[in-house]
Structure 1
Protein backbone atom coordinates (compact mmCIF):
# COMPACT_ATOMS: atom_id res chain seq x y z
CA UNK A 1 0.00 0.00 0.00
CA UNK A 2 1.08 3.55 -0.62
CA UNK A 3 2.61 4.83 2.57
CA UNK A 4 1.67 8.49 2.24
CA UNK A 5 -1.92 9.18 1.22
CA UNK A 6 -2.39 12.94 1.70
CA UNK A 7 -5.24 14.17 3.86
CA UNK A 8 -7.81 16.50 2.34
CA UNK A 9 -9.83 18.33 4.94
CA UNK A 10 -13.27 19.65 4.03
CA UNK A 11 -16.37 21.02 5.72
CA UNK A 12 -19.85 19.64 5.32
CA UNK A 13 -21.90 22.16 3.36
CA UNK A 14 -25.30 23.00 4.75
CA UNK A 15 -27.79 23.51 2.00
CA UNK A 16 -27.53 22.73 -1.67
CA UNK A 17 -28.25 24.53 -4.89
CA UNK A 18 -26.85 27.67 -6.50
CA UNK A 19 -27.62 29.88 -3.51
CA UNK A 20 -25.59 27.78 -1.07
CA UNK A 21 -22.76 27.49 -3.61
CA UNK A 22 -22.58 31.25 -4.11
CA UNK A 23 -22.58 31.77 -0.36
CA UNK A 24 -19.67 29.34 -0.02
CA UNK A 25 -17.65 31.17 -2.67
CA UNK A 26 -18.25 34.52 -0.98
CA UNK A 27 -16.84 32.96 2.20
CA UNK A 28 -13.64 31.94 0.42
CA UNK A 29 -14.66 28.32 -0.09
CA UNK A 30 -15.08 26.12 -3.14
CA UNK A 31 -18.25 23.99 -3.08
CA UNK A 32 -18.00 20.33 -3.97
CA UNK A 33 -19.64 16.96 -3.73
CA UNK A 34 -18.50 13.50 -2.66
CA UNK A 35 -20.43 10.71 -4.37
CA UNK A 36 -20.35 6.95 -4.89
CA UNK A 37 -19.80 4.08 -2.50
CA UNK A 38 -23.50 3.16 -2.21
CA UNK A 39 -24.15 6.03 0.23
CA UNK A 40 -25.79 9.41 -0.20
CA UNK A 41 -23.78 12.20 -1.83
CA UNK A 42 -22.11 14.53 0.67
CA UNK A 43 -21.98 18.27 -0.17
CA UNK A 44 -18.72 19.83 1.04
CA UNK A 45 -16.75 23.06 1.05
CA UNK A 46 -12.96 23.26 0.61
CA UNK A 47 -10.92 26.40 1.39
CA UNK A 48 -10.21 28.15 -1.92
CA UNK A 49 -6.52 28.87 -1.23
CA UNK A 50 -5.80 25.30 -0.16
CA UNK A 51 -7.50 23.83 -3.23
CA UNK A 52 -5.77 26.26 -5.60
CA UNK A 53 -2.37 25.35 -4.14
CA UNK A 54 -3.02 21.64 -4.70
CA UNK A 55 -4.21 22.27 -8.26
CA UNK A 56 -1.07 24.24 -9.07
CA UNK A 57 1.07 21.40 -7.70
CA UNK A 58 -0.25 19.23 -10.54
CA UNK A 59 -1.73 15.75 -10.94
CA UNK A 60 -4.66 16.61 -8.72
CA UNK A 61 -6.97 14.25 -10.61
CA UNK A 62 -4.46 11.41 -10.36
CA UNK A 63 -3.89 11.64 -6.61
CA UNK A 64 -5.63 9.49 -4.02
CA UNK A 65 -6.78 11.52 -1.01
CA UNK A 66 -7.95 10.65 2.47
CA UNK A 67 -11.03 12.87 2.80
CA UNK A 68 -11.63 14.12 6.34
CA UNK A 69 -14.99 15.71 7.13
CA UNK A 70 -15.98 16.38 10.73
CA UNK A 71 -18.80 14.10 11.82
CA UNK A 72 -18.09 11.54 9.08
CA UNK A 73 -15.73 8.60 8.74
CA UNK A 74 -12.57 9.21 6.73
CA UNK A 75 -12.91 7.96 3.18
CA UNK A 76 -10.55 7.57 0.25
CA UNK A 77 -11.51 9.68 -2.71
CA UNK A 78 -10.21 10.73 -6.09
CA UNK A 79 -11.14 13.87 -7.98
CA UNK A 80 -13.37 13.30 -10.98
CA UNK A 81 -13.97 16.87 -12.12
CA UNK A 82 -12.94 20.46 -11.42
CA UNK A 83 -15.22 23.15 -12.82
CA UNK A 84 -13.55 26.49 -13.48
CA UNK A 85 -14.57 30.08 -14.12
CA UNK A 86 -14.81 30.62 -17.87
CA UNK A 87 -12.78 33.84 -17.73
CA UNK A 88 -10.59 33.67 -14.60
CA UNK A 89 -9.91 29.90 -14.90
CA UNK A 90 -10.26 29.54 -11.12
CA UNK A 91 -11.98 26.55 -9.48
CA UNK A 92 -15.70 27.02 -8.84
CA UNK A 93 -16.78 23.46 -8.02
CA UNK A 94 -15.09 20.09 -7.48
CA UNK A 95 -16.40 16.52 -7.60
CA UNK A 96 -14.88 13.61 -5.67
CA UNK A 97 -15.67 9.91 -5.97
CA UNK A 98 -15.50 7.52 -3.03
CA UNK A 99 -13.42 4.44 -3.76
CA UNK A 100 -14.01 0.81 -2.94
CA UNK A 101 -11.04 -1.48 -2.46
CA UNK A 102 -11.71 -3.03 -5.88
CA UNK A 103 -12.02 0.29 -7.72
CA UNK A 104 -9.44 0.74 -10.48
CA UNK A 105 -7.83 4.16 -10.74
CA UNK A 106 -4.93 5.87 -12.51
CA UNK A 107 -2.13 7.02 -10.19
CA UNK A 108 1.47 8.16 -10.60
CA UNK A 109 3.73 5.68 -8.76
CA UNK A 110 7.33 6.66 -7.81
CA UNK A 111 10.24 4.73 -9.36
CA UNK A 112 12.93 3.30 -7.05
CA UNK A 113 16.37 2.48 -8.50
CA UNK A 114 18.56 -0.46 -7.41
CA UNK A 115 21.86 -1.77 -8.76
CA UNK A 116 23.64 1.58 -9.12
CA UNK A 117 26.68 0.26 -7.20
CA UNK A 118 27.33 -2.52 -9.73
CA UNK A 119 26.23 -0.87 -12.97
CA UNK A 120 29.18 -1.05 -15.43
CA UNK A 121 27.95 2.07 -17.18
CA UNK A 122 27.96 4.10 -13.98
CA UNK A 123 31.34 2.65 -12.96
CA UNK A 124 32.81 3.97 -16.21
CA UNK A 125 31.54 7.49 -15.58
CA UNK A 126 28.08 7.25 -17.11
CA UNK A 127 25.23 9.33 -15.71
CA UNK A 128 21.87 7.87 -14.71
CA UNK A 129 19.12 9.89 -16.37
CA UNK A 130 15.60 9.34 -15.02
CA UNK A 131 13.26 9.97 -17.93
CA UNK A 132 10.24 9.06 -15.78
CA UNK A 133 10.81 9.34 -12.01
CA UNK A 134 7.12 8.43 -11.72
CA UNK A 135 5.05 6.11 -13.89
CA UNK A 136 1.30 6.37 -14.31
CA UNK A 137 -0.32 3.00 -13.66
CA UNK A 138 -3.83 1.59 -13.46
CA UNK A 139 -4.07 0.14 -9.93
CA UNK A 140 -6.78 -1.04 -7.56
CA UNK A 141 -7.63 1.25 -4.64
CA UNK A 142 -7.10 -1.55 -2.14
CA UNK A 143 -3.62 -2.49 -3.41
CA UNK A 144 -1.70 0.67 -4.28
CA UNK A 145 2.09 0.12 -4.33
CA UNK A 146 4.53 2.49 -2.63
CA UNK A 147 6.78 2.34 -5.69
CA UNK A 148 7.98 0.25 -8.59
CA UNK A 149 11.62 -0.90 -8.78
CA UNK A 150 14.02 -0.76 -11.71
CA UNK A 151 17.37 -2.59 -11.73
CA UNK A 152 20.24 -0.85 -13.53
CA UNK A 153 22.96 -3.29 -12.38
CA UNK A 154 23.66 -4.54 -15.93
CA UNK A 155 23.29 -1.31 -17.89
CA UNK A 156 26.22 0.01 -19.95
CA UNK A 157 26.70 3.57 -21.19
CA UNK A 158 24.04 4.19 -23.82
CA UNK A 159 21.67 1.50 -22.51
CA UNK A 160 18.04 2.26 -21.69
CA UNK A 161 15.53 0.55 -19.43
CA UNK A 162 11.91 0.40 -20.56
CA UNK A 163 8.63 -0.43 -18.84
CA UNK A 164 8.55 -3.93 -20.35
CA UNK A 165 11.57 -4.92 -18.23
CA UNK A 166 9.91 -3.87 -14.96
CA UNK A 167 8.01 -6.34 -12.78
CA UNK A 168 4.81 -4.53 -11.93
CA UNK A 169 2.64 -5.26 -8.88
CA UNK A 170 -0.12 -7.78 -9.45
CA UNK A 171 -3.13 -6.16 -11.07
CA UNK A 172 -1.23 -3.01 -12.12
CA UNK A 173 -0.61 -1.99 -15.72
CA UNK A 174 0.74 1.12 -17.47
CA UNK A 175 -1.69 3.65 -18.89
CA UNK A 176 0.51 3.91 -22.01
CA UNK A 177 0.48 0.99 -24.45
CA UNK A 178 3.93 1.52 -25.99
CA UNK A 179 7.18 0.30 -24.41
CA UNK A 180 8.38 3.67 -23.09
CA UNK A 181 11.80 4.46 -21.56
CA UNK A 182 12.01 4.98 -17.79
CA UNK A 183 15.77 5.51 -17.35
CA UNK A 184 19.02 5.44 -19.32
CA UNK A 185 22.77 5.60 -18.77
CA UNK A 186 24.09 8.62 -20.61
CA UNK A 187 27.72 9.34 -21.46
CA UNK A 188 29.39 11.99 -19.29
CA UNK A 189 29.46 15.41 -20.94
CA UNK A 190 33.27 15.39 -21.23
CA UNK A 191 33.25 12.06 -23.05
CA UNK A 192 30.50 13.23 -25.36
CA UNK A 193 32.47 16.38 -26.27
CA UNK A 194 35.62 14.34 -26.91
CA UNK A 195 33.65 12.03 -29.18
CA UNK A 196 32.44 15.00 -31.21
CA UNK A 197 36.01 16.32 -31.53
CA UNK A 198 37.22 12.90 -32.70
CA UNK A 199 34.54 12.82 -35.38
CA UNK A 200 35.62 16.25 -36.61
CA UNK A 201 39.26 15.11 -36.80
CA UNK A 202 38.28 11.96 -38.71
CA UNK A 203 36.25 14.05 -41.13
CA UNK A 204 39.23 16.32 -41.76
CA UNK A 205 41.58 13.35 -42.26
CA UNK A 206 39.23 11.90 -44.85
CA UNK A 207 39.53 14.95 -47.11
CA UNK A 208 41.89 14.05 -49.99
CA UNK A 209 45.19 15.95 -50.00
CA UNK A 210 44.55 17.14 -53.55
CA UNK A 211 41.33 18.89 -52.46
CA UNK A 212 43.11 20.56 -49.54
CA UNK A 213 45.91 21.74 -51.88
CA UNK A 214 43.38 23.05 -54.34
CA UNK A 215 41.66 25.00 -51.59
CA UNK A 216 45.02 26.49 -50.56
CA UNK A 217 45.72 27.63 -54.16
CA UNK A 218 42.40 29.43 -54.29
Structure 2
Protein backbone atom coordinates (compact mmCIF):
# COMPACT_ATOMS: atom_id res chain seq x y z
CA UNK A 1 0.00 0.00 0.00
CA UNK A 2 1.34 3.39 -0.99
CA UNK A 3 2.22 5.82 1.78
CA UNK A 4 1.32 9.46 1.20
CA UNK A 5 3.34 12.44 2.37
CA UNK A 6 0.94 15.22 3.35
CA UNK A 7 1.87 18.84 2.62
CA UNK A 8 -0.15 22.05 2.87
CA UNK A 9 0.02 24.68 0.14
CA UNK A 10 -1.90 27.80 -0.85
CA UNK A 11 -3.39 28.63 -4.23
CA UNK A 12 -2.09 31.33 -6.57
CA UNK A 13 -4.37 33.42 -8.71
CA UNK A 14 -2.03 34.33 -11.57
CA UNK A 15 0.57 32.63 -13.75
CA UNK A 16 3.60 34.25 -15.37
CA UNK A 17 7.05 35.49 -14.36
CA UNK A 18 5.76 38.60 -12.61
CA UNK A 19 3.35 36.63 -10.44
CA UNK A 20 6.08 34.09 -9.64
CA UNK A 21 8.46 36.86 -8.54
CA UNK A 22 5.74 38.32 -6.33
CA UNK A 23 5.26 34.90 -4.73
CA UNK A 24 9.00 34.65 -4.00
CA UNK A 25 9.03 38.17 -2.52
CA UNK A 26 6.33 36.95 -0.14
CA UNK A 27 8.74 34.23 1.03
CA UNK A 28 7.03 31.36 -0.79
CA UNK A 29 7.94 29.07 -3.69
CA UNK A 30 5.65 29.16 -6.75
CA UNK A 31 4.58 25.84 -8.19
CA UNK A 32 2.09 24.06 -10.40
CA UNK A 33 0.16 20.78 -10.33
CA UNK A 34 -0.50 19.55 -13.86
CA UNK A 35 -1.84 16.49 -15.66
CA UNK A 36 -4.68 14.06 -15.08
CA UNK A 37 -6.67 15.67 -17.92
CA UNK A 38 -7.50 18.58 -15.61
CA UNK A 39 -6.68 22.26 -15.57
CA UNK A 40 -3.33 23.07 -13.97
CA UNK A 41 -3.49 24.27 -10.37
CA UNK A 42 -1.21 27.18 -9.44
CA UNK A 43 0.18 26.84 -5.91
CA UNK A 44 2.63 28.44 -3.48
CA UNK A 45 4.41 26.60 -0.69
CA UNK A 46 6.85 27.12 2.14
CA UNK A 47 10.47 26.73 0.92
CA UNK A 48 11.22 24.72 4.06
CA UNK A 49 8.85 22.01 2.80
CA UNK A 50 10.78 21.77 -0.47
CA UNK A 51 14.15 21.65 1.30
CA UNK A 52 12.91 18.99 3.74
CA UNK A 53 11.64 16.72 0.98
CA UNK A 54 14.78 17.11 -1.12
CA UNK A 55 16.92 15.88 1.76
CA UNK A 56 14.82 12.74 2.23
CA UNK A 57 15.82 9.65 0.21
CA UNK A 58 13.44 8.50 -2.50
CA UNK A 59 11.67 11.80 -3.14
CA UNK A 60 11.41 11.02 -6.86
CA UNK A 61 8.96 8.18 -6.21
CA UNK A 62 7.14 9.64 -3.20
CA UNK A 63 3.45 10.45 -3.65
CA UNK A 64 2.29 13.68 -2.04
CA UNK A 65 -1.14 14.31 -0.59
CA UNK A 66 -1.34 18.04 -1.34
CA UNK A 67 -3.93 20.04 0.57
CA UNK A 68 -4.70 23.31 -1.25
CA UNK A 69 -5.98 26.06 1.05
CA UNK A 70 -7.03 23.39 3.55
CA UNK A 71 -9.81 22.09 1.32
CA UNK A 72 -9.11 20.56 -2.09
CA UNK A 73 -6.69 17.60 -2.08
CA UNK A 74 -4.48 16.41 -4.92
CA UNK A 75 -2.30 13.29 -5.16
CA UNK A 76 0.85 14.05 -7.12
CA UNK A 77 4.50 13.25 -7.79
CA UNK A 78 7.21 15.89 -7.45
CA UNK A 79 8.59 16.02 -10.99
CA UNK A 80 10.92 19.02 -11.21
CA UNK A 81 12.54 21.55 -8.90
CA UNK A 82 14.22 24.66 -10.27
CA UNK A 83 17.01 25.87 -7.98
CA UNK A 84 18.85 29.19 -7.87
CA UNK A 85 22.27 28.70 -9.56
CA UNK A 86 24.17 30.32 -6.69
CA UNK A 87 22.16 29.87 -3.49
CA UNK A 88 20.37 26.59 -4.42
CA UNK A 89 17.17 28.14 -3.07
CA UNK A 90 14.07 26.59 -4.70
CA UNK A 91 12.62 28.84 -7.41
CA UNK A 92 9.77 26.72 -8.76
CA UNK A 93 8.32 23.23 -8.32
CA UNK A 94 6.30 21.07 -10.71
CA UNK A 95 3.99 18.31 -9.51
CA UNK A 96 2.32 15.73 -11.74
CA UNK A 97 -1.26 14.99 -10.76
CA UNK A 98 -2.08 11.28 -10.50
CA UNK A 99 -5.27 9.99 -12.05
CA UNK A 100 -6.91 6.78 -10.88
CA UNK A 101 -5.61 3.77 -12.82
CA UNK A 102 -2.85 5.77 -14.50
CA UNK A 103 0.57 4.15 -14.36
CA UNK A 104 3.52 6.49 -14.11
CA UNK A 105 7.24 6.50 -14.88
CA UNK A 106 9.29 7.07 -11.72
CA UNK A 107 12.91 6.85 -10.58
CA UNK A 108 13.27 4.67 -7.48
CA UNK A 109 16.34 4.84 -5.22
CA UNK A 110 18.24 1.74 -4.08
CA UNK A 111 19.47 1.20 -0.51
CA UNK A 112 22.42 -1.17 -0.02
CA UNK A 113 22.57 -3.28 3.16
CA UNK A 114 24.89 -5.94 4.58
CA UNK A 115 28.10 -4.28 3.43
CA UNK A 116 29.73 -4.85 6.82
CA UNK A 117 29.22 -8.64 6.60
CA UNK A 118 29.94 -9.18 2.91
CA UNK A 119 32.72 -11.83 2.57
CA UNK A 120 34.09 -10.11 -0.52
CA UNK A 121 34.31 -6.70 1.12
CA UNK A 122 35.89 -8.26 4.22
CA UNK A 123 38.60 -9.68 1.95
CA UNK A 124 39.36 -6.26 0.54
CA UNK A 125 36.88 -6.19 -2.32
CA UNK A 126 35.37 -2.91 -3.40
CA UNK A 127 31.66 -2.24 -3.84
CA UNK A 128 31.11 -0.93 -7.36
CA UNK A 129 27.60 0.55 -7.63
CA UNK A 130 26.43 0.56 -11.23
CA UNK A 131 22.99 2.03 -10.49
CA UNK A 132 21.89 4.11 -7.49
CA UNK A 133 18.35 4.32 -8.92
CA UNK A 134 16.18 2.39 -11.37
CA UNK A 135 13.57 3.84 -13.73
CA UNK A 136 10.33 1.87 -13.53
CA UNK A 137 6.67 2.03 -14.50
CA UNK A 138 4.47 1.79 -11.42
CA UNK A 139 0.86 1.95 -10.31
CA UNK A 140 0.35 4.82 -7.83
CA UNK A 141 -1.63 2.42 -5.63
CA UNK A 142 1.54 0.33 -5.09
CA UNK A 143 4.31 2.89 -5.38
CA UNK A 144 7.59 1.66 -3.81
CA UNK A 145 9.39 4.07 -1.50
CA UNK A 146 12.65 2.40 -2.49
CA UNK A 147 14.38 -0.83 -3.40
CA UNK A 148 16.93 -2.66 -1.22
CA UNK A 149 19.96 -4.72 -2.21
CA UNK A 150 21.47 -7.23 0.26
CA UNK A 151 25.25 -7.52 0.02
CA UNK A 152 25.75 -9.73 3.07
CA UNK A 153 26.51 -12.96 1.16
CA UNK A 154 28.43 -11.56 -1.78
CA UNK A 155 32.05 -12.48 -2.43
CA UNK A 156 34.56 -10.94 -4.83
CA UNK A 157 33.21 -10.92 -8.43
CA UNK A 158 29.64 -11.55 -7.23
CA UNK A 159 26.97 -9.07 -8.25
CA UNK A 160 23.47 -7.81 -7.48
CA UNK A 161 21.00 -7.89 -10.35
CA UNK A 162 17.49 -6.55 -10.85
CA UNK A 163 15.90 -9.84 -9.74
CA UNK A 164 17.87 -9.70 -6.47
CA UNK A 165 16.34 -6.40 -5.37
CA UNK A 166 13.63 -6.34 -2.71
CA UNK A 167 10.50 -4.25 -3.21
CA UNK A 168 10.07 -4.68 -6.97
CA UNK A 169 6.90 -6.79 -6.90
CA UNK A 170 4.53 -4.20 -8.38
CA UNK A 171 6.73 -2.41 -10.90
CA UNK A 172 8.23 -2.99 -14.35
CA UNK A 173 11.72 -1.68 -15.16
CA UNK A 174 12.09 0.66 -18.12
CA UNK A 175 15.53 -0.83 -18.85
CA UNK A 176 15.14 -3.44 -21.61
CA UNK A 177 18.27 -5.45 -20.73
CA UNK A 178 17.12 -8.67 -18.94
CA UNK A 179 18.10 -8.90 -15.27
CA UNK A 180 20.59 -6.04 -15.50
CA UNK A 181 23.42 -5.48 -13.01
CA UNK A 182 22.92 -3.14 -10.05
CA UNK A 183 26.27 -3.52 -8.25
CA UNK A 184 29.34 -5.76 -8.13
CA UNK A 185 32.03 -6.64 -5.61
CA UNK A 186 35.24 -5.85 -7.48
CA UNK A 187 38.63 -7.39 -6.69
CA UNK A 188 40.91 -5.28 -4.43
CA UNK A 189 43.24 -2.90 -6.22
CA UNK A 190 46.99 -3.32 -5.72
CA UNK A 191 48.84 -0.29 -4.47
CA UNK A 192 51.28 0.86 -7.13
CA UNK A 193 54.08 1.51 -4.64
CA UNK A 194 53.69 -1.95 -3.08
CA UNK A 195 53.85 -3.52 -6.52
CA UNK A 196 57.03 -1.59 -7.33
CA UNK A 197 58.66 -2.66 -4.04
CA UNK A 198 57.81 -6.32 -4.70
CA UNK A 199 59.35 -6.06 -8.17
CA UNK A 200 62.64 -4.84 -6.63
CA UNK A 201 62.98 -7.76 -4.19
CA UNK A 202 65.55 -10.56 -4.99
CA UNK A 203 62.74 -13.08 -5.33
CA UNK A 204 61.01 -10.95 -7.91
CA UNK A 205 64.24 -10.27 -9.75
CA UNK A 206 64.85 -14.02 -10.05
For Structure 1 versus Structure 2, the TM-score category normalised by the shorter chain is 0.5 to 0.7
Within a 5 Å distance, the mapping from 1:199-218 to structure 2 comes to 200-201=197-198, 204=201, 205-208=203-206
Q: Distance in 1 between matches of 2:161 and 2:81?
A: 31
Q: Distance in 2 between matches of 1:99 and 1:45?
A: 19
Q: Distance in 2 between matches of 1:58 and 1:181?
A: 18
The question of whether the paired residues in 2 share the 8 Å contact of 1:110 and 1:146 is answered with no
Unaligned runs of 5+ in 2: none
Q: Distance in 2 between matches of 1:79 and 1:102?
A: 16
Aligned residues: 198
Within a 5 Å distance, the mapping from 1:1-218 to structure 2 comes to 1-3=1-3, 5-13=4-12, 15-18=13-16, 20-55=19-54, 61=60, 63-69=62-68, 70-73=70-73, 75-83=74-82, 90-100=89-99, 101-111=101-111, 113=113, 121=120, 129=127, 131=129, 134-140=132-138, 141-152=140-151, 154-156=153-155, 158-166=156-164, 168-173=168-173, 179-184=180-185, 200-201=197-198, 204=201, 205-208=203-206
Higher CA-based Rg = 1
Give the match's secondary structure for 1:80: strand
The question of whether the paired residues in 2 share the 8 Å contact of 1:128 and 1:185 is answered with yes
Q: Distance in 2 between matches of 1:11 and 1:199?
A: 66
TM-score under structure 1 normalisation? 0.63
Give the match's secondary structure for 2:96: strand
Q: Distance in 2 between matches of 1:59 and 1:11?
A: 25
The question of whether the paired residues in 2 share the 8 Å contact of 1:126 and 1:185 is answered with no
The question of whether the paired residues in 1 share the 8 Å contact of 2:131 and 2:182 is answered with no
How has the CA–CA distance of structure 1 residues 56 and 146 changed in structure 2, closer, same or farther, with 3 Å as cutoff? closer
